[in-house]
Structure 1
Amino acid sequence: MSIKYKFPENFWWGSATSGPQSEGRFNKKHDSVFDHWFDIEPEAFFNGVGPNVASNFYNSHKEDLKLIKEIGLNSFRTSIQWTRLIKDFETGEVDEDGVRFYNEVIDECIENDLLPVMNLHHFDLPVELYDKYGGWESKHVVDLFVIFARKCFELFGDRVKHWTTFNEPMVIVEGEYLYQFHYPKIVDGRKAVQVMFNLNLASAKVIEAYKEMGFHKEGGQIGIVLNLTPAYPRSNNDEDTMASNIADSYFNTSFLEPAVKGNFPKILLDILEQDGVIWQATEKELEIIKNNTVDFLGVNYYQPRRVKAKESEFDESKGWMPDKYFDNYEMPGRRMNPYRGWEIYPQCMYDIAINLRDNYDNIPWYISENGMGVEGEEKYINEYGIIEDDYRIDFYKEHLEYLHKGISEGSNCFGYHTWTPIDCWSWSNAYKNRYGFIAVDLATQKKTIKKSGRWIKEVAQNNGF
């Protein structure tokens, strides 16, 4: 067959999951904020399904990684849970079962020719650090996170050469402190801004520790995974463009600029100063952020943000919010994924690629998540018991075509990971929408490769399609 879209040599064809979404709570000595939220409010989770079992990766990682190898992937990202690895958060004393488990996962990846990419934080803050210190509101928690990270590097850095500090740190800010979709569901714009700073600081301090420990000399690299939702203005008029620039500075470049360039976007700083909600930061902390930028970037892309100049009345009663400066815009005729309520806009892949090429020093980057969540996939099962998810294959092809265009125009992209290899638990959505190449039957935990899983194997083998 002829390959129309050929990708660079040694391209990562892979898929991503996380500890809290795949492992289950088996033998975990501490609870994360999500474990706790499920314990106190199970009805907040779709069909009352929490993280207790997830896709049973704690027990079935050997079989699961073999399946991931079987669908032809060459790389795999997951995360190390702070709540599983560490017994004592203040001293960094480890839990032996946690060490055993992650060693097995990493060794099993290598055994299956899967490059392990390890992430350190995927929304799973230990709840006791929230109760005791306010979680990411606290700089002490930032330092405890560095202790955890150092422990991970020390234990696993000999085999894991690609690390990321955070997955989607902006979602912590939005979910916990603005829009109430993650526990503790606070609405406090001022705290949100401090948390934004503290997460940037935590990432830089972890990078600093990684450098100090000498892993770069051994070919190690450390980055961050950001969900980029580029803000497109409703029109080219000045008011709409300004609104989209402000939204972009809050939701995208507030993490992108510090990660890649070591500073914060001026437009954001000006607004936070003028509104009297700027974070508390020392000169030394700003120096640390400046001097500890990422080696590479992971980009999670699902949907664009569309923005217009503020038209609705801003509700002052909630205090300061970024929404003071823009309204979200529903573009007429947009394509939608009806199950997720998200717009499908594959062209954005190209726009991200060119933006990183032109405005971010053409940093090495990869797509760390891209995917399509669909409800009720069982209705697409054929007579052989296989889910025929052609809609997912089409979604991936379209996005890859635009990514390929960006690469062919010089963007330094080295890989494409989907969300997710095996249907996984998804926060309060639980298993409502499925994303995997491999289906999981929750009642039996039986796992079956979908049609898309056979498709990606061919893509990976041909390094294109």
Structure 2
Amino acid sequence: MKTTPSGFKSDFLWGGAVAACQIEGEYAKDGRGLSSSDIHLYDPQINRSAIEKEGGGTLAEIAAAINDTVGYYPKRHGINFYHTYKEDLALLKEMGFETFRTSISWSRIFPNGDELVPNEAGLAFYDGLIDEIIRLGMEPIITMSHYDIPLNLITEYGGFANRQVIGFFKRYAEVLLKRYKGKVKYWIVFNQVNLVPIVQFGSLGIYDGQSDNMEELMYQAVHHQFLAAAETKALGKIIDPAAQIGTMLADCTFYPATCDPKDVVLTMARNRMQYFFADVQLRGQYPGYALKYFADQQLAIKFEPGDETLLKENTMDFLAISYYASKTISAATNSMDPNTFEQNPYLEPTPWEWRMDPLGFYNCLSQYWDRYQVPLLIGENGFGAIDQVESGRINDDYRIDYYRQHIEQLRRCAEEGVELIAYCAWGPIDIVSSSSAEMSKRYGFIYVDYDDQGKGTGQRIKKKSFDWYKQVIASNGSQLV
């Protein structure tokens, strides 16, 4: 009889994850072009508990942001990782990191996105970064597109809504696969491919007012991303057969607000339209429930000959998951609109209303494993909070508590036989928030002395959680006290 492990397997990887657009800075250095992340303005009046979209705007608003000399755009500056990556990686290695997930800024490699020849200066930066990750004994996990689309592809082509962009992405992916063959084993093609329409600007390159039917345009762009990922997988099989190429979901598994059958069924329908993104990429075809939804909503998604074969023959190797919190669905107040949901009254509120739910972590991972039976990679999990520096120390027991409870549930999954590749704590060093463009929403085990306006010394300070996570890694997840 097959037995299950008593804890995490010996080859399980512990580490953390960041994104180029939130950490690197030097947005115009060495030939890099503007990207979707560079026009995300910091708004000090933002309603943290009700952020409906990340950046973007109309073409006129994009042009205004490009020419704005007054506003502060934090993702252009990050935490200066472009210059400090060796020191920062050394701190992560001190914690015992076995893996480090980051992304490549597409516009560093192809500044406008449509060039025929890549930018060598941009590639040279990633040569150094990836070599340093490997030198320190960490497994690099690299995301090809993490809300960082060349801005020219948005303003001139309409992003992934334009089928021509598939070819531009394929050229970019081919450069990466060839350049880092034998160095990068794990590739995530698109970050959180399902997190639309909230991040449709950064993820799909769709701008406001681009169509009279934005939902149809969105799903057409998603279809083109599916094809781009399949093209990348097809390239990977030829260029580097040892590479593992995966997709990634932001967990949006909802609970029904009550046991009223109307709540239960609407929740099921909402959850299936989140599974849809992985169903296509892991099962290789559009599911019937999604086709019925498109028909009911009169959404005409254009397929071309060969699309279905490409998807069927090039399914992804693993599923990466980001998990932070959970929410509920009520048939009385919510609909199929993904922006409608309710907060769970059984969970404690936070400033950003990402209510901690460790059991939701166990629930969602179990559902993904049961549904797909492919290896799971925890691409993001973490706790954003307002940290206070007191006498040069940050006593972030709340963060330790969050991680302890979530890793306990992850270990429960491992003990039930879920195949797990890695656990990447989100933002192991403080970075600019993706959703709100704040520095004050801090996730890290390492504090970075910058404020929301980019002012500060940039000093790195170890938080209390630094030593705690070091112990977790050294014990392979068995020591969580």
TM-score, L = length of structure 1: 0.88
Say if 2:421 is the partner of 1:414: yes
Partner residue, 1:78? 102
Report the alpha carbon displacement of residue 87 of structure 1 after superposing the two structures with TM: 4.5
Which residue, out of 230, 237, 254, partners 2:253?
A: 230
The corresponding residue for 1:446 is 459
Partners of 1:249 and 1:332 lie apart in 2 by 24
Contact 2:112 2:152 in 1 (8 A): no
SS at 1:117's partner residue?
strand
**Which residue is equivalent to 2:377?**
366
**Cα distance, 1:354 vs. partner?**
1.8
How far the C-alpha of 1:439 sits from its partner, in A, is 0.8
Structure 1 residues 276-314: Cα deviation after superposition (integer angstroms, max 9, x where no partner): 1131112411221111111111110112231121546x8
Whether the 8 Å contact between 1:369 and 1:419 is mirrored in structure 2 is yes
In structure 1, how many angstroms separate the alpha carbons of the residues matched to 2:40 and 2:396? 33
Aligned to 2:470: 457
CA distance in 1, matches of 2:180, 2:351: 39
Pair 1:277 & 2:299 matched:
yes
Within 2, Cα distance between the matches of 1:140 and 1:49? 29
Matched residue type, 1:399: H
For 2:448, what is the secondary structure of its paired residue?
strand
Instruction: State which drifts further: 424-433 or 16-25.
Output: 424-433
Work out the percentage of aligned pairs sharing the same amino acid: 29
2:36 to 33, 36, 51: 33
Say how many residue pairs are matched: 439
Return the letter of the residue paired with 1:331: N
SS in 2 for 1:78: strand
Q: Distance in 2 between matches of 1:426 and 1:37?
A: 11
Tell me whether 81-90 or 56-65 shows the greater mean CA deviation.
81-90
Correspondence for 2:90? 66
Change (3 A) 1:49 1:374: farther
Q: In structure 2, what is the Cα distance between the partners aligned to 1:220 and 1:292?
A: 14
In the alignment, which of 354, 358, 383 is matched to residue 346 of structure 1?
Answer: 358
Aligned 1:171-190 pairs, distance under 5 A:
171-176=195-200, 184-186=207-209, 188-190=214-216
In structure 1, C-alpha distance between the alignment counterparts of 2:231 and 2:356, rounded to whole Å: 36
Q: Distance in 2 between matches of 1:421 and 1:23?
A: 14
Q: Partner residue of 2:56?
A: none
1-side partners of 2:171 and 2:205: how far apart? 25
For the residues of structure 1 that align with 2:364 and 2:17, how far apart are their CA atoms?
A: 20
Structure 2 equivalent of residue 8 of structure 1 = 9
Q: Is the 8 A contact 2:230 2:311 kept in 1?
A: yes
> Corresponding residue for 1:245?
268
What amino acid does structure 2 have at the position aligned with 1:105?
A: L
Q: What's the counterpart of residue 405 of structure 2?
A: 398
Cross-structure match for 2:441: 433
Q: Which runs of 5+ in 2 are unaligned?
A: 1-5, 42-61, 451-455
Question: Does the 8 Å CA contact 1:231/1:307 hold for their aligned counterparts?
Answer: yes
Q: Structure 1 unaligned segments of length 5 or more: list them.
A: 315-321
The structure 2 residue matched to 1:211, chosen from 213, 230, 237, is 237
Corresponding position: 1:52 with 2:53: no
Q: CA offsets, 1:107-143, max 9 Å, x none?
A: 1011111111111000111110111110011111111
Post-superposition Cα deviations, 1:60-109, rounded to whole Å, max 9, x if no partner, equal 11111111111111100001111001256334411121111000001101
Q: Kindly indicate whether the alpha-carbon contact (under 8 Å) linking 1:357 and 1:410 is maintained by their aligned counterparts in 2.
A: no
Deviates more, 1:327-336 or 1:273-282: 327-336
Letter in 2 for 1:126: P
CA apart distance, 1:37: 4.5
CA distance in 2, matches of 1:334, 1:20: 31
Cα deviation 1:393-451 (Å, max 9, x = unaligned)? 10001011111111111111122111012111124433130011111012111111111
More helix by share: 1
Task: Describe the superposition over 1:9-35 as per-residue Cα deviations: whole angstroms up to 9, x where unpaired.
Answer: 111111000111111115143100221
Contact 1:173–1:196 (Cα < 8 Å) also in 2: no
Alpha-carbon distance, 1:258 to partner: 1.4
2:396 matched to which residue of 1? 389
User: SS where residue 170 of structure 1 aligns?
Assistant: coil
**2:375 partner letter:** P
Q: 1:201 aligns with which of 212, 222, 227?
A: 227
Cα offset for 1:231? 1.7
Aligned residue for 1:355, secondary structure, equals helix
Any idea what SS the aligned residue of 1:328 has?
coil
Aligned counterparts of 2:460 and 2:429: Cα–Cα separation in 1:
8
Q: Deviations over 1:206-235 (max 9, x none)?
A: 11111122x12xx22111221112121123
CA contact (8 A) 2:75 2:437 kept: no
In structure 1, C-alpha distance between the alignment counterparts of 2:14 and 2:272, rounded to whole Å: 31
Alignment of 1:297-316 (within 5 A): 297-311=319-333
Return the offset for 1:181: 13
Aligned to 1:333: 346
Question: Which residue of 1 is the match for residue 45 of structure 2?
Answer: none
* Structure-2-length-normalised TM-score: 0.85
Give the 3 Å change call, closer, same or farther, for CA 265–432 of structure 1 in structure 2: farther
CA distance in 1 between partners of 2:366 and 2:405 (Å): 17
CA contact (8 A) 1:177 1:188 kept: no
CA contact (8 A) 1:299 1:367 kept: yes
Q: Give the distance between the partners of 1:340 and 1:182, measured in 2 at CA.
A: 25
